[in-house]
């Protein structure tokens, strides 16, 4: 199904919907209500079908989620051409960040064994090609692409968790910090926590309330790429 080869030779009446329409409806439902709300019954309802009818399109929820993941993996934000391994990796990482903002449910899906569909593999291929020909062997290339993926996934998870906390609590980060500042007055001694207090004062002086997740993502991405650049330079030096 991931490669569009299933369902050939199907007999009977022409189906009312395509598998693509089923997948798009499932993505829209997960985007709006989260992965926990996704079910064969709910997707069928949005399409005006019975749950049993939907099973003629996809055999189970597990296969449906795989199709959803492969479909969103093909989304690429137009960030302009990137030349050089570092700009290419930056662009792919930023696309991953933006994709997760649009589809937060993808972070809830395990990727240890990802769906090996054409769009997922195209994403893998693009990342590997970005660092091909730099003096790295194939295993090192795979390890570095895994490192980038793990970083993006971790940064996205932190940002989405912060968004969820604010939505479920009904309290903004600004309000939360203001409440805790009042509670901690007289308890946090500068002599005992001098560095923590200094950092807090710096945020206050800058009129910032807590971390900026996009800024944190960009800062961390650059530091990861700095480390990769050092590693590549060392490998090139060893080959010289």
pLDDT at residue 98 above 80? yes
* pLDDT, tens digit, 9 for 90 and up, residues 159-196: 999 989 998 999 988 888 888 888 888 888 889 999 99
Please report which confidence band the pLDDT of residue 127 belongs to, taking 50, 70 and 90 as the band edges.
Answer: very high
- Mean pLDDT value across residues 106-131: 91
Identify the pLDDT of residue 82. Answer: 85
Enter the pTM of the model.
Answer: 0.87
Which pLDDT tens digit goes with each residue over 48-93? 999 999 999 999 999 999 999 999 999 877 767 789 999 999 999 9
Cα-based distances in Å from 109 to 56, 63, 106, 171, 193: 24, 12, 5, 27, 39
Span 5-46, pLDDT tens digits: 875 445 555 678 999 999 999 999 999 999 999 999 999 999
**pLDDT one-digit tens code per residue, 191-237:** 999 999 898 888 888 877 666 899 999 999 999 999 999 999 998 88
Q: What domains appear along the chain, each with residue ranges and CATH number?
A: 19-73 (1.10.10.60), 85-239 (1.10.357.10)
Rg (CA), the chain: 23
């Amino acid at each position: 199904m991931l490669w569009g080869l299933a369902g050939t030779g199907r007999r009977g009446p022409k189906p009312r919907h395509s598998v693509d329409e089923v997948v798009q409806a499932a993505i829209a439902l997960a985007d709006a209500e989260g992965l926990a709300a996704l079910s064969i019954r709910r997707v069928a309802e949005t399409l005006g079908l019975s749950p049993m009818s939907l099973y003629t399109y996809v055999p189970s929820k597990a296969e449906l989620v795989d199709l959803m993941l492969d479909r969103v993996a093909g989304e690429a934000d137009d960030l302009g051409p990137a030349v050089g391994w570092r700009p290419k990796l930056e662009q792919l990482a930023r696309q991953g960040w933006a994709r997760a903002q649009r589809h937060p449910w993808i972070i809830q899906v395990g990727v240890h064994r990802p769906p090996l569909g054409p769009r997922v593999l195209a994403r893998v291929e693009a990342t590997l090609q970005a660092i091909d020909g730099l003096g790295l062997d194939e295993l090192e290339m795979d390890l570095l692409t895994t490192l980038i993926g793990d970083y993006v996934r971790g940064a996205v998870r932190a940002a989405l968790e912060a968004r969820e906390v604010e939505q479920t609590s009904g309290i903004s980060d600004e309000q939360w910090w203001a409440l805790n500042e009042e509670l901690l007055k007289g308890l946090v001694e500068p002599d005992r926590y001098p560095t923590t207090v200094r950092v807090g004062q710096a945020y206050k002086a800058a009129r910032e309330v807590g971390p900026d997740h996009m800024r944190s993502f960009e800062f961390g991405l650059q530091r990861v790429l700095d480390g990769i650049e050092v590693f590549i330079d060392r490998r090139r030096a060893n080959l010289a």
